[in-house]
Every structure is written in C-alpha cells, then in structure tokens.
Amino acid sequence: MKLRPAILGICISTCFWGCLPKPLPIEVDQVEPQIVVSSQVIPNQVMVITLSRSFSALEQGQDSDSLSEEFLNQLLVENATVTISYEGVTDTLFDLPDVPGVYASVSTPQYDHVAYTLSAYDPQTGSTVSSTEEMLPFVGFDSVAAVRGSSNGFDYIDVSYSFTDPPGSNWYMVNYYAEPEENIQFDPLSPDQNIANFTQLLNDKTFGTFEFSDTYRIYDWDSTNVYVSISNISENYYNYLALRSKSENFFTDLVKEPINYPTNIENGLGYFTTHHPDVRFIQLD
Amino acid sequence: MLLNIYGSGAVVSGYVKDAESGEALMFTTVYVTGSSVGTTTNQYGFYSLSVDSALIKNDSIHLSISYVGYQTVQRSVPAGRHVELNFDLKQATNELKELVVVASQSKLEEELKSTEMSMVRLPVKQIKSLPAIGGETDIVKVVQLLPGVAKGSEGGTGMFVRGGDADQNLVLLDESIVYNIGHLFGFFSVFNPDALKDLTMIKGAFPSNYGGRLSSILDIRMKEGHQNKFQGTGGIGLLSSRLTLEGPISKKASFLVSGRRTYIDQVFKLVELFVPYYFYDINAKVNYIVSQNDRIYYSMYYGNDVLKFDEGDVVEEEASDTSSGNDLGLDFGFTLGNLTNTIRWNHIYNAKMFSNISLISTNFNYNIRGQIFNNQLLIRSNIFDLGIKADYDYYYKADNHIKFGGMFTHHTFKPNIISTQGDITEFLESSEGEKLFTQEMAVYGQSDKEFTDKIKVNTGLRISGSVVEGKVYTGLEPRLASRYLIDKYNSVKLSYSRMKQYMHRVSSSTVALPTDLWYPVTRTIKPQSSSQIAAGYNHIFPKWQISCSLEAYYKWMNNLIEYREGANLILNNRFENELLQGSGDAYGLEFFVKKEEGNFTGWISYTLAWATRDFDDLNNGERFWAKYDRRHTVSTVATLKLSKRWTFSAVWVYSTGSRFTAQIGQYVMPNATYTGFDIIPIYTARNAVQMSPSHRLDLNISLRPKKDRKFTGEWNFGCYNFYNRATPYRIDIVPIENGLGYRYQQPGLFGFIPSIAYNFKF
C-alpha cells in the first residue's frame, strides 16, 4: 500500500470507526422461569410429554449450538406429576427411566374428536400448567413415492404423495426426514449436521378436490433413506408452525418485529399437541 | 369626498420580490401603515389588499412591506380603484438594523394574528449554517429539531410527527410528491439545500388545500433562478459536492440548475477500499413571465441511489486470488430514484383573484438486479403519478381571504415485477406483479375571516376520495382554525383538523429498505384517518424579536396499518394479507421559542408526548406504545454571528429513548420433525422497553473572506456528536467480558464525526 492512501485510510478510519460511541448499558427485567411443554403422539402406542423450564435471555447464547447437554439437562423438570384426562378418565404419566423431564403413557387410548386435557404439577416451583387439545382424526397417505434427481449441479429428491382430505376445514403438516448416515451418531443438539428435515404446511382451503396429491422437491438432499409423515393438525398449531416457519426466513429475520410465539399452555409455554402422524419410510436406489 | 371617489375603497395587488435576484418572497407582510389592515403574500409572492376608504389619506395609500432578513419598505401610492404595485425588497445589512427590526416585528405580529398554528416556516438560508453530519446540511434533519417531530433512528430522515408514522408525512417539492426522501437507506435527505428557498412544516390545523396524509405536510419550494444576473454557488464537503448555476435567460425568463453527487465510492477508492455506492441529485427550474398577469414555471427533480457490484470489482478486490470471481458472472446492484416534474401557471384574473394551476408528474422506482453464474434476477417496482391541481385565491375583502380549488391524481402502481433467468426460475418464477390503477381526487374551500379585531376564524372543508378496484372511498375533512387576540402581545388559538390518507408505505417497521413500496388502499384495506384538536397560546417579545408558543394537541387515528407478526413483505405480491388495521392515539404538549433576526438567532423546543397503538392481532390485543414514543424531547439551536467573518452555531438535542421489544427469556422446543431443538426467544410486550435517553451536541463555525469579491468562499468546520455519546437504536445481548454470562447493551450509530466543507459563490 502506498503511503498517501495509507494515511488517508487511517484518517477515515479514525473519523468513522475510531470514534464509535461506547454502547450504553441497560437493565431489562427478565421473565420468571415458566414450564415449557412439548408433546408427541405415536399412533396407538404412546403419548409423550416433555417438561422443561424457560431461562433468562442472559443465561446462554442465542443459538442451539451454544447450549451444553449439561445445561439442557438442568432445564428439564423432574419429578413432576403429569396427567392426561379424557372422557372423565385421568391417566397419570410415568417418568421415562434415565430420561429426566420426559413423561409417557402407554395406556391412554387415542379417540378421534375427544378433548385431552394435560395437567402438570412441578413440586419444585409449585406451579401447575394445563392445556386441552382435541384429538383430530387420523389422516394417512394414500400413496408415497420418492425419486432422486439432479439439475444443473443441484441434487434433489422429488417426493410425491397423495391423501384423502376429510370433509370440513383441515390443516396438515407433512414432514420430510433424511436418515442420518450410519457412521454419524444422532445428536439432537446439532440437527443440521446429521439429519435433514423439512416441514410443509397445507391448508385444505387451497385444495381443489378431496383427493390431494403433490410433489415436493427437496434440494440438496443426497440421502438413501427418506421418512415422510403426514399429520392432521389443529388450525392453531398450523398457525404456530407457520409463524415459526416465517421467522426462519433470512430476510424476515433481518427486518421483522420480534415475535412472541403463541402457546396453548395455560400458565406456561410451548405447545400441547395430540395429532398422530402417518410415517412412511422410503428407501431410494 | 373620498368616499365618493373611492366608493367602498381601493384594492392594491401585485408581487413582492427580492430586489437582487427577482425571487418571489412568500408570506411577506403588506400592511396599511398605522393600521391593523394587512395581508401576506401567497406561496407565489402575490398579494391583494382591499383598503377601506377610511384608510385612504390625501388620495394616497400608505403601505409598509416587510419580510424577515429584508429592509422594510414604506411606500405611499396614489389611490385608485385598482392599483397594481410590485415591490422589490432589499436584503438587510447591519447598517439598517432599525428597518430590519421593523420587519421582524411585523412578522411576529402577523404570526400572532394569524389563525395558523402548529406550523413552522424556515428559510433554507437560515439553516445552512447549522452543523450537520459530515458537513452535509440536511433540511429534514433540521425539521426533526422542531417541536412535535420525533426522529427515527439516529442519522435517519424518518419523521414521526405528533405520534404518527413515517409514511404519514406529505413531502412536496414544488407541489410534486416525493415518495422517497432518503438517500443511503435514509441517512441523507434527497433535498439539495442550494436549490431550495423555503420550507413550511405543518403538524396540525391543516389548511384545507392540503390533504392526503395524516400527520404532517412538508412543503418545500425551490428557488426560481436569479432573474438579474448569472451566478453560481456550490460546496465541497467530505461526502459530496454541489454546484448550482442560475441566471436570466431573457428579461422575462430565468433558470436554475443544481447538481449534487456523493463521492463515498471515490474517497474509499483512494484508500483501496471498495464501496460501490453513490447517489446524485439534479434540480432544475425555469420560469417565464408571459405577461403582467401570467407566469409559467417548470421545475424538475431527479435523484438516484446507485449500488453496483460486479465480477470486475471482485477480481479487482482480490486480484491476488486467481480462483475468485472469474467464473462467477457476478453482477449485483440496485438503483432507487425519484423523478418529479411540475409545470405551474400563475394567472391573475383581477386585483382580487389569483390562481395557480399545476400539472404534476411523479415517478418513483427501484430496480434490484443480481446475477451469479447463469442465474439472473431482476426486481422492479414503480409508481407513476400524473395529476392536475388548481388553487384559487380570492381576496374578497381585507378581512376575508377565500381559497378554493381541487386536485386529481392518477396513480399507476407496478410493484414487485420479477424477472428471472437460469436455474433460479426453479425457485422464483418471473411475474409481472399486480399492476394497479387508482385515482385520488379532492375539492376544497376555505375562508380566513376576521370577525372582529380580536377574533379570526379559518373555516374550511375538503372533500376527498379515491377510486380503487371499482370501489369508491370518500372522506369529509372539515378544518377549523381560530384565533383570539388578547392584546398586541398575546393570542390564543384553537384548531380542529380531520385528515384522510389513501396510500401507505409497505415497509418493515424496523428497517428502511429500498424495497419498501408505496401502495394504495384496496377493497379491504381502508383509508387511514385522523382527527386532531390543538390549542395554543402565543406570546411575542417584539423588543427582542422573540416569539413563544405553547400548544397542546390530541390526535385520534383510525385504520392505521401494521403488519402481521412475522410478515414477509419482500417479493410478496400478496402483502395485503399481511396487513392489519388498528387505531392509535397521540397527545402532548409543545413549547417553542424562536428568534429569527439579529446576531443571535435560533430556537428552543420542548415536546412532551405520548403515542400508543391498538391492534386486535398484535400484542395479544393489548394497547402498546408506538416505536418512536419519546416522552421528552428538547432541541436547542443557536447561531451567533461573532463578527462579519465568523459565525458560530450549535445544536444540542436531548430525547427520551425510543421503544424496543427486548428479549427477556428463552426456552427450548423440539422442531416440528422432532429431529432437533430450536431455541425460542421470549420478548417483552411490543415496544415495552424504553431505551436510554440520548443527547448530543453538534458544533459548526463558519469563516468568510475579509472582503466580498466576485468569487467568495466560506469554510465550515464542524463536528457531529461532540462528546461522542451513543444514541441507542437497538438493544443487543453480548457476552460479558469475563465470559460469565451475557449482558444488555445499546449501541449507537454515529460518534464524534468532524467535518470540513468549503462553500463558494461566484
């Protein structure tokens, strides 16, 4: 670099960056920890509830990679009393051995159009959370197929499927998973490294007929095994997922107003869902 | 005898101009000497004064004509039924202080007596010596120092007037709407001060000839061009340079051409840094005196922001890296510009009737293009307005000035025209957008009548409408402004205004992007409306040439527009589905004291304000604070002429911090596929956190040459944010230095920035 530009560069840098004002401190009250609920239903087998606690914005970093397993374990709510009530019956869920914060029931029957009420009591904080959700009818695939392809240097998989949309207003979640390669251990803290997953949300207002079929192209997937699932979900959960999906958009993330995600948990956070998915496995050539 | 000759009196009319340049002087006071009978020139420098026979003495009418910064002229003219009389006012010099004081006092008295309130007029000459970022005088940033005007983020041109939103300000340049008033993402305004003459900011008590926005009118007038001699002015600053040329074309015509260009790109190039961005402006104006009763003006503004980044730049940047760039086919950039054209015809029908008819076109467009490998993306958006506007002044009597007129504008919107080529078409298809044609129209009338010496009332009605997609919206907009003159030093004023707005800007509320679109109301998105009442008390200190005002206001706003949480507005042709409508309230108190004449000039303004919003689908349906709800704002602006050569100016600003939605917690949730976890942030209620107050001192000192020569230069040495204090614009979470946890901090954008600029005139 010549001398004159170097001096000019130093001057400009001094003017514009050297005098950047010192940021001002500010105190903002933190939200009290709340119980966070998530749930999963495996059709005709098990209902699983996971309880954890929210934590301060100043406690850990802003991305999942910065959370240690030890810290995550601290968040899980142990020894809680968790029940699910339906049609006048109350089932108490049991702790999964060696998996703190996870509660399951294998005896709870799964009835369509029945309201299931979750209640969880945390003896440590004395707080109780609850939520009620109607179990929607099971909707499964009529057909599913997948084809691998490549275009202009991009690998993709076309997943074609069809299903029958029951009468009335319905909302669906179609999930696509790529099975991790055998030599990579599944690590839930770093999902992007070991498993690909996509979620497609469907609203039957956009369907032309009751027999809905679609082909979804997933770019940059090079897996040999693909899982595809469909779930008939509630409108509220559909809106919740749509909001989360929108916030993952890079541009939206840049310019959006912050979003407080909705919850159906009274006195807590998260989402209690009772949908039961139809999961299909496809092995590609 | 006199009554027999002159009947009910005489009418004197004509133009008031600057004696040197021939520029029309607007809002000049013309009074019958020794009486309270008078008037002011309109925006084109025309006046008409009906003089009662009782005021005609010795067959003569004795008139005083005064304007701040000019010598007061007192003239006796032979009385006649209709007297045509033009005045040329000379600029004040220090040797004629008494005449200047008279002019200033007349202006103060006129302000006191007028029904106008919530209004500030600033000659551009007055603000040129004020300090500014990088030495770039910026009229919008000066407007932000007025009471009731909250600034947006630091350094930006966003204005939030009396609790309104940034798109509720009607910005007019020679009657053309300027849709995008900012360069460089809003850090500089598009207005080149060298080409401008005067600006009027109206925040309430809106005259009925203005409409179309809820919160303010910023009416900016360009110079007309020197009618007597050729001259040039210009300036060389750290960020840009300007040159203005003006002069007579013939005895009846003059011109003005002004240009400005930044050289941020060129300056950084010197230090081998690559900043592929610049902006430029061109202003031009021609006026032609057709006859004593007819004048024609043509004015034009064209400005553009240009960002251009291509493969050649990459290769140049990384010349040593042979693997980079060569095969990318990289080309990225955007242009963002306004083009306005106005043709105006002033016509004097008779001594009492004046009209201005304007043909106006405005074109605002942006183009974003990107290319990598064989993929091409071109996004274009465009608004084109073609309109006609007619304004009539009828000086019915000395105590009753009637205005009426109308406007019609045809808007053509072409948002989000997308053109793609290559593999990118798999993801993003070409689309023509949804072209939309709308019409906006209004008729108005108002009477500014003095009922007694103490009571004057301006009553107006504007009927506005818009036709869009076959749907017709109409709005009745009553206006009322009244004044009660307590004595010669005190008056109280009261006003009511109703406003309708048929366009809005589709924009993220957090960041101003070149992709922000203006869009009209639709079948489902209704026009925004507001009602505002304001009460004010005015006091003048003629001896010190100081005026004070205290105003209280309350504004109700309906059908305000916000966006759904998580709304994606970029490349979204269906953004109508993302819009929400709600209401808002704003109220506050404003104190303003100003001194416009003398060696020491400036003003102090204080604003105490509240602004809230209420949307069913935002913040759980609970009322929340507007983002720029700043409780206290103080601005102190001072200019001191130390000597003939040295002028010192300072601006000190204090304001309560703007509002922010801060993250206050987080939790872990499995993603929808149960294959991993996401960390979900928990935020406060919308805009619940008030950031720290900010205050800033800007200084400037000007040095003029010892003697006036044909070519005179002036040096300006200044600094922005003298004591380098941050003006918070966001709240970040950052790691604590010792690595144990995190903390909040509020960064500022601009620290201490010294500047040097050289302005010249020849």
Would you say residue B166 lies in a domain? Answer: yes
Domain end position, chosen among B159, B189, B221: B221
- Number of domains, chain B: 3
Beta strands B10-18 and B82-84: pairing type?
A: parallel
What's the CATH code of the domain at B136? Answer: 2.170.130.10
Cα B104–Cα B110–Cα B114 angle in degrees, nearest 5: 150
CA-wise closest residue to B133 among B716, B602, B745: B716
Identify which has the larger pLDDT, B270 or A272: A272
B5 close to A (CB below 8 A)? no
Q: Is the pLDDT of residue B326 over 90?
A: no
Q: Average pLDDT, stretch B57-71?
A: 83
Would you say residue B136 lies in a domain? Answer: yes
Q: Are residues B409 and B471 in the same domain?
A: yes
What is the extent of the structural domain holding B583?
A: 222-657+692-761
The per-residue pLDDT for A25 is 93
pLDDT of B620-669, one tens digit each? Answer: 899 999 988 999 999 999 999 898 889 999 999 999 999 999 999 999 99
Cα B67–Cα B71–Cα B77 angle in degrees, nearest 5: 85
Q: Is the pLDDT of residue B247 over 70?
A: yes
pLDDT band at B454 (very low <50, low <70, confident <90, very high): very high
The per-residue pLDDT for A256 is 67
Q: Are residues B131 and B72 in the same domain?
A: no
Length of chain B: 762
The per-residue pLDDT for A194 is 44
B733 close to A (CB below 8 A)? yes
The per-residue pLDDT for B478 is 97
- The mean-pLDDT minimum among B355-359, B446-450, B749-753 falls in B749-753
Give the architecture (CATH level 2) of A141-261+278-283: Sandwich (2.60)
Contacts of B709 (CB under 8 A, 6+ apart): none
Nearest CA in chain B to A72: B668
Contact (CB<8Å) A259/B731? no
- The mean-pLDDT minimum among A8-22, A23-37, A105-119 falls in A8-22
Helix (H) or strand (E) holding B516: none
Whole-angstrom distance, CA of residue B628 vs CA of residue B220: 25
Would you say residue B46 lies in a domain? Answer: yes
Q: Average pLDDT, stretch B510-525?
A: 75
Q: Are residues B211 and B226 in the same domain?
A: no
Q: Are residues B48 and B168 in the same domain?
A: no
How many helices and strands in chain A, by DSSP H and E?
Answer: 5, 17
CB pairs under 8 A between A and B: 217
pLDDT of A255-268, one tens digit each? Answer: 667 888 899 999 99
Q: Are residues B283 and B379 in the same domain?
A: yes
Q: Which residues of chain A have a CB within 8 Å of the CB of B568?
A: 246, 249, 251-252
Nearest CA in chain A to B374: A152
Portion 475-514 of B in contact with A at CB < 8 A: 508-511, 513
Q: Are residues B557 and B627 in the same domain?
A: yes
Q: To the nearest whole angstrom, how far is the Cα of A13 from the nearest Cα of chain B?
A: 10
The per-residue pLDDT for A1 is 46
Would you say residue B15 lies in a domain? Answer: yes
Q: Are residues B325 and B263 in the same domain?
A: yes
In this structure, what token pair is assigned to residue B412? 């053509």
Q: Which residues of chain A have a CB within 8 Å of the CB of B752?
A: 19, 21
Contact (CB<8Å) B726/A26? no
- Name the residue facing A21 among B509, B689, B721 (closest C-beta): B721
What's the CATH code of the domain at B84? Answer: 2.60.40.1120
Identify which has the larger pLDDT, B97 or B45: B45
- The mean-pLDDT minimum among A123-127, B104-108, B195-199 falls in B104-108
Please state the ipTM of this predicted complex. 0.88
Would you say residue B101 lies in a domain? Answer: no
Contact (CB<8Å) B271/A261? no
Contacts of B491 (CB under 8 A, 6+ apart): B112, B113, B483, B484, B485, B537, B538
The per-residue pLDDT for B324 is 45
Q: Are residues B216 and B235 in the same domain?
A: no
Whole-angstrom distance, CA of residue B216 vs CA of residue B164: 9
How many helices and strands in chain B, by DSSP H and E?
Answer: 6, 48
Q: Is the pLDDT of residue A150 over 90?
A: no
Q: Average pLDDT, stretch B64-72?
A: 84
In this structure, what token pair is assigned to residue B55? 């005021």
Whole-angstrom distance, CA of residue B154 vs CA of residue B133: 11
- The mean-pLDDT minimum among A197-206, B20-29, B372-381, B556-565 falls in B372-381
Would you say residue B111 lies in a domain? Answer: no
Contacts of A5 (CB under 8 A, 6+ apart): B270, B271, B272
In this structure, is the dihedral angle defined by the CA atoms of residues B181, B184, B188 and B193, taken in order, positive or negative?
A: negative
Probe site for chain B from A257, A267, A269 (most B CB atoms < 10 A):
A257
Domain end position, chosen among B199, B221, B243: B221
Portion 408-437 of B in contact with A at CB < 8 A: 423, 426
Q: Is the pLDDT of residue A101 over 60?
A: yes
Contact (CB<8Å) A5/B672? no
Q: Are residues B708 and B579 in the same domain?
A: yes
- CATH 2.60.40 residue ranges in chain A? 35-134, 141-261+278-283
Would you say residue B685 lies in a domain? Answer: no
- Name the residue facing B566 among A36, A175, A259 (closest C-beta): A259
Cα B344–Cα B349–Cα B351 angle in degrees, nearest 5: 115
Q: Is the pLDDT of residue B257 over 90?
A: yes
The per-residue pLDDT for B173 is 94
Contact (CB<8Å) B727/A21? yes
Q: Are residues B231 and B252 in the same domain?
A: yes
In this structure, what token pair is assigned to residue B174? 């020679």
The per-residue pLDDT for A63 is 60
Q: Are residues B26 and B135 in the same domain?
A: no
pLDDT band at B603 (very low <50, low <70, confident <90, very high): very high
Q: To the nearest whole angstrom, how far is the Cα of B152 from the nearest Cα of chain A?
A: 15
Would you say residue B676 lies in a domain? Answer: no
Fold of the A35-134 domain: Immunoglobulin-like (2.60.40)
Q: Are residues B755 and B701 in the same domain?
A: yes
For residue B663, what are the CA distances in angstroms to B81, B565, B670? 74, 15, 20
The per-residue pLDDT for B492 is 96
- Name the residue facing B566 among A20, A21, A256 (closest C-beta): A256
Q: Is the pLDDT of residue B98 over 80?
A: no
pLDDT band at B210 (very low <50, low <70, confident <90, very high): very high
- The mean-pLDDT minimum among A173-177, B97-101, B183-187, B524-528 falls in B97-101
Give SS3 for B216.
Answer: strand
> CA end-to-end span of chain A, whole Å?
57
pLDDT of B562-586, one tens digit each? Answer: 888 777 666 666 677 888 999 999 9
Portion 566-585 of B in contact with A at CB < 8 A: 566-570
Contact (CB<8Å) B744/A25? yes
Identify which has the larger pLDDT, B625 or B109: B625
The mean predicted confidence, pLDDT, of chain A is: 82
Q: Which residues of chain A have a CB within 8 Å of the CB of B727?
A: 21
In this structure, what token pair is assigned to residue B597? 């004449």
Q: Is the pLDDT of residue A276 over 90?
A: no
Q: Average pLDDT, stretch B52-72?
A: 82
What proportion of chain B, given as a percentage, has pLDDT over 70?
91
Contact (CB<8Å) A270/B669? yes
Bridge partner list, B443: B406, B463
Whole-angstrom distance, CA of residue A226 vs CA of residue A213: 18
Contact (CB<8Å) B733/A57? yes
Contact (CB<8Å) A31/B682? yes
